[in-house]
Structure 1
């Protein structure tokens, strides 16, 4: 009985508090719910309709607030186009030349002349077996007999797969003849951090790269002080993949501090053609407010996100490391075409017998997405457009490149240059801060019900303190009535 009596008192107190609240509040529309001494059925119907309207507007305000919160939580940033910056403030891209074949035929012939063959395999069988090493980088059919033969031959000659592929794969000497920066010729190989080519590796095997130092965290990529077709890098080269196998060399344009990955722009250099590669750099940066967000919210990373790692964060390097870990978990070894920096202690180098694992999981390796490898918050990206001309049409030309060198049917010329004197700068900024979120939430509820912060304070005042006072008053009234009945 006491519990029921207490519940009844609470209901009466709550009802009294509600009517006191609607009598005094400035929230739009609530005054229509005030009680009247002699209310009619028409008054009750009107109050019911207003109750439905006010409740519907409250639901609308909550729905709009949830939409604002989701926008704030999932898309807190936006990219704005800032003023253009001079081309001298942006790094000239790295340029990498690769053969579409991981093993060059003429190098394979030279390799056959130097190896020892005490196992009495035929030269043709050995060459076919050695070509199966391309299974690390491209799709092949599985042939365990050939893999065993390769391992036996390499063991007999005290060679590893790494050493063998460096002898059979492409190098700078295979591709380059003359190099120019603008109209000035320079040695293609020199002890210069900027104007030089070095041998590199990629997902297609051994390559040749310009302005490429991904392993050196202290390296500052050089910038170009000119633009246009007469500026930038000019290469006169020779495609040594003879015969019907010649489908043109592959070229990738990328950031100088990025390892070459499949995501980079791919350009084909056709024999006896001049290729014009126009580069459009875009500078990316982030505001201080964006960097204060978590990496998933800002959708980019900086090196300090990895406090335990001393390496400079690059998205391409992250992707390469992610794929390397996947390969190790699947095949248990370190393949030749991955940088040695990602090889951990205790991981063995892949042998020819591991090729079957690569071929079986080829599609799996290519399809895996590394979601943790977000773009860099500060970066320079490079998009390109490409044009070709047939060198057969240049029997007469004012260019010294054509007149100074004898070009064969396997020669090629490629020009890589910046398109404009200025570079577009994109900056990632906060689209909605905490302050703007609160302002928008206030605007939503003010639109629906005319609620402000003081209205919220007023609500809590009535339904905490005033509710307590009314409950005490109802208790006192019951106590007085019971005392009078007793007397």
Structure 2
């Protein structure tokens, strides 16, 4: 460009070319630019993001994130002016921190998966009046009144005929009632006795087994002349109810009525319709109890019930305020043709909502003994937040989680009885006389005894095998799957006994007794303490606890918080979108400048 001088002289200036402004080219390496360490890293990062290639822009975004993130250590890996050996040092430190953090997080996750629930002691003591007194089921080994039905004599005559003729044609002309009683009694005899007679007996006689066993059993007031409960005397037959079990007909104290235990009483082959009335007591000088109101359930406890409650409870732990029964066996009723040589009573203590499983533990009360049973409740409660976990994780069922067809309440024993019932029905096409069943299912007859005995053994073996297999294969499903109830009540016992000579006791009191062959026994059941410690099933690792543990681990090893994760999402979503928008605007502006220069 030349500039003229109006004064006549002319000077020449160097030519200057005006070019459009272009962004500085990104250096390939720091060493290619002199004094790059003096250039602020923010300018280099922004230059890469705005003007660099796509790969360079990605690196710029990562550098921008690492420069601003709150996660410790990352910024040292990608800083432009950081020496290589420092980056290597921080890389090793970060890898080690990440490894330790992941290892601990995985360990806490496994613990949350495997053991999210813990059993511990409740913070406060539970008074015994908060729970019902145990349901006491007394099963005498004497199953029949010999004056009503003489099983030993009849079985001896039938067996003699079978041995002489190889079959049974009823040459003694036993009545149909006697035959029904004999065939009904076989259901509670030893299996060897059943196997001896079953194949020879007529198939067309189908007795009402439970009712027949009730008819030939010894009456309540003979087995239990008098009882005592909560300091009051009762005639035992006033507070006992007949209940059919696998042991035959037993006497039960403080059990729920059939309508309160079963969903439909028509599912039962027999139930004692006589309602126990605790206002009928022996001592007329004692004031009457208040009427029973309200209700009770294992989950909710007693609701609006006073001192006289259903089921019964007691306030004190002394033997005076427990249950006492004088039990007697008459020697003329002893027999050894049906049952074993063991004589006395089997006593089962259960929670009122559960049926007694006679294959479980029992207390043996021999004739001529006094047995004192001190009870310590085993009460397990569960917190409501356990619903967040599956039953397999917490190893229990809430009452609203496991539906039972026959029972209103879920308990482990009720589940086992229902499972055995269903298995017996599917295998034999009938149910045992004491089992709940649908109306269309018949009661097993004598010829079916071998089948239902085999079914019970087969079910037991099947559950054992599946339980062992489940230890190796967690996906293995166990038949029935009768886990404990999340709220359960059992009774641990301590037993002491001594000899009791009823005849000498009567002699000492200078009295006479109506039975000359009576062998007396005394049974006392009472709570050991006024209060007891309940077991509480609580959450060891909830989701909140798991997240808190993870946060603590990540904060300890990497300084990560919830905001760090939000920051990560922000940089690679909102910030990335904003950078892409600015790159497009810059590209358009440069394209306009280049177009104007060419024109």
Structure 1 CA distance, aligned partners of 2:573 and 2:546?
Answer: 28
Select 1:172's aligned residue among 187, 209, 220: 220
| Residue in 2 that maps onto 1:278 | 374
Q: Provide, for residues 280-317 of structure 1, a one-character-per-residue CA deviation record: whole Å limited to 9, x for no partner.
A: 12444344434566555554444444689795313132
Deviation at 1:32, TM superposition (A): 2.8
Structure 1 CA distance, aligned partners of 2:221 and 2:440?
Answer: 34
CA 1:183–1:20: 2 relative to 1, 3 Å? closer
Deviation at 1:198, TM superposition (A): 1.4
Deviation at 1:112, TM superposition (A): 6.8
Deviation at 1:389, TM superposition (A): 0.6
Deviation at 1:180, TM superposition (A): 2.4
Deviation at 1:22, TM superposition (A): 1.8
| Residue in 2 that maps onto 1:5 | none
The residue matched to 1:120 in structure 2 has which SS?
A: coil
Deviation at 1:336, TM superposition (A): 0.6
1:43-442 equivalent positions in 2, closer than 5 A: 43=86, 45-67=88-110, 69-70=112-113, 74-76=115-117, 78-100=119-141, 108-109=149-150, 119-121=169-171, 130=182, 134=186, 139-140=191-192, 143=195, 146-152=197-203, 155=205, 159-167=207-215, 172=220, 175-181=223-229, 184-190=232-238, 196-217=239-260, 220-239=310-329, 240-241=333-334, 245-262=341-358, 265-290=361-386, 295-296=391-392, 299-305=395-401, 312-315=408-411, 316-338=413-435, 342-367=436-461, 368=463, 372-392=481-501, 410-442=519-551
Q: Is the CA contact 1:16–1:470 (under 8 Å) kept in the aligned structure 2?
A: no
Q: Provide, for residues 194-224 of structure 1, a one-character-per-residue CA deviation record: whole Å limited to 9, x for no partner.
A: xx11111122222111112252326820112
Structure 2 CA distance, aligned partners of 1:318 and 1:285?
Answer: 19
Q: Is the CA contact 1:179–1:186 (under 8 Å) kept in the aligned structure 2?
A: yes
Structure 2 CA distance, aligned partners of 1:166 and 1:202?
Answer: 12
| Residue in 2 that maps onto 1:3 | none
Structure 2 CA distance, aligned partners of 1:384 and 1:286?
Answer: 23
Q: Is the CA contact 2:501–2:520 (under 8 Å) kept in the aligned structure 1?
A: no
Deviation at 1:420, TM superposition (A): 1.8
Q: Provide, for residues 121-156 of structure 1, a one-character-per-residue CA deviation record: whole Å limited to 9, x for no partner.
A: 5699x99x957964678654884x83243344x72x
CA 1:164–1:31: 2 relative to 1, 3 Å? same
- 1:15 counterpart = 2:124: no
Q: Is the CA contact 1:132–1:147 (under 8 Å) kept in the aligned structure 2?
A: no
Residue segments in structure 1 that go unaligned for 5+ positions in a row:
1-7, 191-195
Structure 1 CA distance, aligned partners of 2:55 and 2:149?
Answer: 94
Q: Is the CA contact 1:171–1:208 (under 8 Å) kept in the aligned structure 2?
A: no
Of 472-481 and 265-274, deviating more is 472-481
The alignment's C-alpha RMSD in Å is 4.5
Q: Is the CA contact 1:178–1:188 (under 8 Å) kept in the aligned structure 2?
A: yes
| Residue in 2 that maps onto 1:29 | 73
Q: Is the CA contact 2:345–2:364 (under 8 Å) kept in the aligned structure 1?
A: yes
CA 1:38–1:313: 2 relative to 1, 3 Å? closer
Structure 2 CA distance, aligned partners of 1:9 and 1:130?
Answer: 101
- TM-score normalised to the size of structure 1? 0.77
Structure 1 CA distance, aligned partners of 2:189 and 2:80?
Answer: 86
| Residue in 1 that maps onto 2:572 | 463
Structure 2 CA distance, aligned partners of 1:308 and 1:276?
Answer: 35
Of 86-95 and 358-367, deviating more is 358-367
Q: Is the CA contact 2:122–2:534 (under 8 Å) kept in the aligned structure 1?
A: yes
Structure 1 CA distance, aligned partners of 2:224 and 2:526?
Answer: 18
Structure 1 CA distance, aligned partners of 2:351 and 2:483?
Answer: 16
Deviation at 1:187, TM superposition (A): 0.8
| Residue in 1 that maps onto 2:5 | none
Structure 2 CA distance, aligned partners of 1:409 and 1:382?
Answer: 31
Deviation at 1:387, TM superposition (A): 0.8
Deviation at 1:355, TM superposition (A): 1.4
Q: Is the CA contact 2:184–2:207 (under 8 Å) kept in the aligned structure 1?
A: no
Give the number of equivalent residue pairs.
Answer: 462
- TM-score normalised to the size of structure 2? 0.64
